[in-house]
Amino acid sequence: MKDLLLITPPFTQLNTPYPATAYLKGFLNTKNISAFQMDLGIEVILELFSKKGLENIFNTSSCQPELVEGQPTTYNSQRILSLQHDYIKTIDSVILFLQGKNPTLARQICSGNFLPEAARFEQLDDLDWAFGNMGMQDKAKHLATLYLEDLSDYIVDCVDENFGFSRYAERLGRSANSFDDLYNALQQPKSYIDEITLRLLKAKIELVQPKLLLISVPFPGNLYSAFRCAQFVKKHFPDVKISMGGGFPNTELRSLTDVRVFEFFDFITLDDGELPVELVYDSICHTELVEVSYKRTFILENNQVVYKNNTTIPDYKQSNVGTPDYSDLHLDKYISVIEIANPMHSLWSDGRWNKLTMAHGCYWGKCTFCDISLDYIKLYEPVAAKLIVDRIEELMDSTGENGFHFVDEAAPPALMREVALEIIKRKLTVTWWTNIRFEKSFTQDLCFLLAQSGCVAISGGLEVASDRLLKLIDKGVTVEQVAQVTRNFTEAGVMVHAYLMYGYPTQTIQETIDSLEMVRQLFEAGILQSGFWHQFAMTAHSPVGINPEIFGVIPEQNNITFANNDINFTDKTGIDHDKFSFGLKKSLFNYMHNIGFDFELQDWFDFKIPKTKIADDFIVSCLEKSDNFNIKSTAKIIWLGGKPIGEEFTKSKKGNSWQMTKLTFHDRKETFEILLEKEKADWLVTNLQKVSISNFKTTTFNELKIDFETHFEDFELFWYSKPINTLREFGLLVL
């Protein structure tokens, strides 16, 4: 029995739980408030994709010939139905394999004689070419993913048209200015998937017996199920109060006025959930309170939607919200899938990641397409590096996983540096990735440090690869800067993914084509490994949405009673940006696989486009620029390597002799040597020990210079010499 039950309704991710409930449960632990959490999404998926689940689907689906009254079904559904016994026979083994519990099945899957194949496998030849010589486990995961997608197509065609692995009835939540469509859908009979969802929820409520049900709704694709769950609880467990929070209400429901929403929910909270949930809990579980107060909470009063923000208590600092708690969630039951040939997307869907945040909000907070007026962006608050790594260690102990996805809007470079140093100092084995801005702080040395701490990938917004538009977006970067940063990460062995945008207000056709040429050159130079084009969408809480006239767009005016975020608009340029979608994505698919660089840009489009105005060596010339001789006096000097082995010898020339030292270093991959005069070698060994990460005390470039010049002359000549340049390649860093 717990006071609170926290749920994530279907569907988000298959491979890892969405972290909102884990974050909240970690906070509730600090307040000694008892809570239980469940991810309804993965539990419903595992019910559907099981031997019993498939038997029920094939027995009850409307694709059964005798149930369709002569209406034709798709060839694909007929094929899957004909192979139903093969699917039923194999499904449990495949799910176990994707859960990492049956690795030997990979050989059988790859044999081509195990899985039944339908339409999704028709693209297999292309994908074999695209993936190249992938490992057997990964190839088997991809084949198993196609197998599940075939079954998903069958479910959509014959059981429930709203089904999707990472969304459910998403169309009802997208840009739903009115509640009418969703409300009407909720009056219809429950779907097959609804029945499974509500049966699982009922069992959990009976077990936990909560006083308050918290439903986290991160995306439009969770909204319908959230309301279905609330509707069910209102009818069958009327004493349980229900609250909604999460990314969807935070961005979409800020203008809510429709009273019908409160037939389903008692509370809707906005923005950071810790204090709002605590106060809602107090109002329910502490009836002795004389005065009830709320934080950013919608309730129904006198048959009107009322926004309550009547507490003087400030929000909790990030240092006081606790460590995310993943207990109660079935971490060993999530399934890893490999959907498409995009290396960054595979990070999203393959393997389980603990989610953490380095900083609340965005340290930049200026991009004009972003929701910078909302708290989740504008309230920037970093967490101390030592506390972040404390939380890393806690989660490694509690989950048994050492993979971390830092879900920051844009991780701050200085904080990333401190976190990386702390990870290395504690000798932790961690694999992590995050989102960044491509800013000049990401030097070669910082990227090397991040890689050494376990950073395997970063994603960042290149957006429109045009300096005019980047300035209009207020991105704070240039294409040249992006090229140099992506080069630095790539050379450190960190995969780079770029978010790419087209159709930004006032963007011309020429700028779209020039952006594509920039992207082509970045991939051809080998400094970008992954990317994704998306079309600009105007949101109500971005500078473009707030002041559309400044950006040359005309928004559609709608009466808002429910959701308000995405805004339809007309660009004054009159350009149909939709028509560029296929060509941009097709070219990118080829570039990601290192082909098509010699094609004319025109070849990707079936309509006439202008020739690019970008020089064909633009990116190469950006990479030739260097500021290696520009070191700040306050820069930290850090040695990541070990102690060298010294060997003294005498060197003679023209009758003169002097003592030399050969220093031999061993790193993980190779052995290398440098030669120095004995006195300088002794000084170097002493100072390498001083700046070693294992004995780390902050030493600046200027302090090192002063110390050197008390013994010798001309530190710069020494620092830029061949021996020191060799050390710089193997872990002598300037940060």
Domain boundaries, given as residue ranges, for the chain? 1-41+164-316, 62-158, 341-624, 637-734
The number of beta carbons lying within 10 Å of the beta carbon of residue 698 is 10
Q: Please write the tens of the pLDDT for every residue from 667-700.
A: 888 999 999 999 999 999 999 999 998 876 789 9
Tokens of 155: 């479910």
Q: How does DSSP assign 258-303, residue by residue?
A: -GGGGGT-SEEE-SS-HHHHHHHHHHHH-TT-SS---SSEEEEETT
pTM of this structure: 0.92
Of 206 and 563, the one with more pLDDT? 206
| 8-state DSSP, 216 | E
The CATH architecture assigned to 341-624 reads Alpha-Beta Horseshoe (3.80)
Decide if 335 contacts 95 (C-beta within 8 A).
Answer: yes
Of the pLDDT bands very low, low, confident and very high (cuts 50, 70, 90), residue 653 is confident
Q: How does DSSP assign 144-156, residue by residue?
A: HHHHHHHHHHHHH
Q: What is the C-alpha to C-alpha distance for residues 253 and 564, in angstroms, rounded to an integer?
A: 6
Bridge partners for 498 per DSSP: 460, 531
Q: Look at residue 72 in the predicted model and tell me its pLDDT.
A: 38
Q: Look at residue 68 in the predicted model and tell me its pLDDT.
A: 46
Q: What is the C-alpha to C-alpha distance for residues 258 and 243, in angstroms, rounded to an integer?
A: 16
| 8-state DSSP, 344 | H
Bridge partners for 651 per DSSP: 658
Q: Give the pairing of strands 553-555 and 566-567.
A: unpaired
Bridge partners for 554 per DSSP: 570
Residue 332 exposed, middle or buried by CB count within 10 Å (0-12, 13-18, 19+): exposed
Cα 428 to chain center, whole Å? Answer: 22
| 8-state DSSP, 612 | P
Q: Look at residue 134 in the predicted model and tell me its pLDDT.
A: 61
Please check the confidence at residue 45 and state whether its pLDDT lies above 80: yes
Structure-derived torsion over alpha carbons of residues 253, 177, 230, 189, reported in degrees to the nearest 10:
-170
Mean pLDDT of the chain: 91
Which residues touch 551 (CB under 8 Å, ≥6 apart)? 368, 472, 505, 506, 543, 544
Give the position of tokens 């917004």: 461
Q: Look at residue 696 in the predicted model and tell me its pLDDT.
A: 64
Longest distance between any two alpha carbons in the chain, whole Å: 106
The CATH architecture assigned to 1-41+164-316 reads 3-Layer(aba) Sandwich (3.40)
Q: What integer is the mean pLDDT of 75-88? A: 93
Cα 633 to chain center, whole Å? Answer: 36
Q: What integer is the mean pLDDT of 427-446? A: 95
Bridge partners for 267 per DSSP: 243
Tokens of 372: 């910078």
Q: Look at residue 67 in the predicted model and tell me its pLDDT.
A: 46
Distances from the Cα of 617 to the Cα of 167, 440, 481, 526, angstroms: 43, 21, 15, 14
Q: How does DSSP assign 363-418, residue by residue?
A: SS---TTS-TTSHHHH--EEPPHHHHHHHHHHHHHHHS--EEEE--SS--HHHHHH
Decide if 560 contacts 655 (C-beta within 8 A).
Answer: no
Q: Please write the tens of the pLDDT for every residue from 329-373.
A: 999 999 998 876 667 777 777 788 999 999 999 999 999 989 999
Of the pLDDT bands very low, low, confident and very high (cuts 50, 70, 90), residue 61 is low
Q: Please write the tens of the pLDDT for every residue from 151-165.
A: 999 999 999 999 998
Of the pLDDT bands very low, low, confident and very high (cuts 50, 70, 90), residue 64 is low
Please check the confidence at residue 629 and state whether its pLDDT lies above 70: no
Decide if 162 contacts 186 (C-beta within 8 A).
Answer: no
Q: Give the pairing of strands 637-639 and 732-734.
A: antiparallel
Q: Please write the tens of the pLDDT for every residue from 103-145.
A: 999 999 999 899 999 999 987 655 555 555 567 888 899 899 9
Q: What is the C-alpha to C-alpha distance for residues 648 and 373, in angstroms, rounded to an integer?
A: 64
Please check the confidence at residue 70 and state whether its pLDDT lies above 50: no
Please check the confidence at residue 80 and state whether its pLDDT lies above 80: yes
Determine the residue type at 199: R
Please check the confidence at residue 446 and state whether its pLDDT lies above 90: yes
Q: What integer is the mean pLDDT of 177-197? A: 95
| 8-state DSSP, 700 | B
Q: Look at residue 525 in the predicted model and tell me its pLDDT.
A: 96
Q: What is the C-alpha to C-alpha distance for residues 483 and 485, in angstroms, rounded to an integer?
A: 6
Q: What is the C-alpha to C-alpha distance for residues 298 and 296, in angstroms, rounded to an integer?
A: 7
Q: What is the C-alpha to C-alpha distance for residues 331 and 275, in angstroms, rounded to an integer?
A: 27
Angle, in degrees to the nearest 10, between helices 20-30 and 274-285: 60
Q: Look at residue 129 in the predicted model and tell me its pLDDT.
A: 54
Q: Please write the tens of the pLDDT for every residue from 499-541.
A: 999 999 999 999 999 999 999 999 999 999 999 999 998 999 9
Q: Look at residue 1 in the predicted model and tell me its pLDDT.
A: 86
Percentage with pLDDT > 90 across the chain: 78
Q: Please write the tens of the pLDDT for every residue from 589-611.
A: 899 888 999 999 999 999 999 99
